[in-house]
Amino acid sequence: MAYSDKVLDHYENPRNVGTLDKNDPNVGTGMVGAPACGDVMKLMIKVNDAGIIEDAKFKTYGCGSAIASSSLVTEWLKGKTVDEAYAIKNSAIAEELALPPVKIHCSVLAEDAIKAAVADIKAKQLAKASA
């Protein structure tokens, strides 16, 4: 299968690989996918008190397009508010990486990972506010 140059670039030089401290109250974690389906993405975001995403890290088990999709979103997330992050659509990811139709699900998974990480940080903030 032929990949776009952008997929190859992110696959070969993945940005922001790693893990943040999941016990940090300012860190939200989203893990989506399943090993049986051939892809699992873990996305972690660190949000400051102004609601801006300061840092983002990922680890992905999956095909080249899945790795590239998650690498790309970590770049996009930094500097965005959580609400802006929540609004990122899979179609934008697929378009940026020129994913073929059979790989669109990789971009869907990346969008799901963002939404899961945002939901996690919001739940943490809510817990902190009510504590």
Partner 1 sequence: MSATIEMPVVKDTFNADGHAHDAQPIYLDYSATTPVDPRVAAKMIPYITEHFGNPASRSHPYGWTAEKAVENAREEVAKLVGADPREIVWTSGATESNNLAIKGAANFYSGKGKHIITVATEHKAVIDPVRELERQGFEATFLQPEPNGLVDLAKFKAAIRPDTVLASVMFVNNEIGVIQDITAIGNICRENGIIFHVDAAQATGKVDIDLESLPVDLMSFCAHKTYGPKGIGALYVRRKPRIRIEAQMHGGGHERGMRSGTLATHQIVGMGEAFRIAREEMHEENKRITHLRDKLLHGLETMEEVYVNGDLEHRVPHNLNISFNYVEGESLIMAVKGIAVSSGSACTSASLEPSYVLRALGRSDELAHSSIRFSIGRFTTEEDVDYTIKLMRSKIDKLRDLSPLWEMFKDGIDLSKVQWASH
Reduced to 3 states (helix: H, G, I; strand: E, B; else coil), residue 86 is helix
Long-range CB pairs of 91-100 (<8 Å, 24+ gap) are: 93/69, 96/6, 96/72, 97/4, 97/6, 97/7, 97/10, 97/65, 97/68, 97/69, 97/72, 98/4, 98/6, 98/7, 99/4, 99/7, 99/65, 99/69, 100/1
Residues 11-30 that bind partner 1 (CB under 8 A): 11, 14, 17, 19
In angstroms, rounded to a whole number, what is the distance separating the alpha carbons of residues 3 and 108?
A: 18
CB of 92 to partner 1, least distance (A): 19
Exactly one of 106, 110, 117, 118 is catalytic; which is it?
106
- 106 is annotated as an active-site residue: yes
In the complex with partner 1, which residue's Cβ is closer, 7 or 82?
7
Shorter beta-carbon distance to partner 1: residue 51 or 64: 64
Residue 62 binds partner 1, judged by CB under 8 A? yes
Site for partner 1 in 96-115 (CB under 8 A): 102, 105, 108-109, 112
Contact footprint for partner 1 (CB under 8 A): 1, 3, 11, 14, 17, 19, 31-42, 59-64, 66-67, 102, 105, 108-109, 112, 116
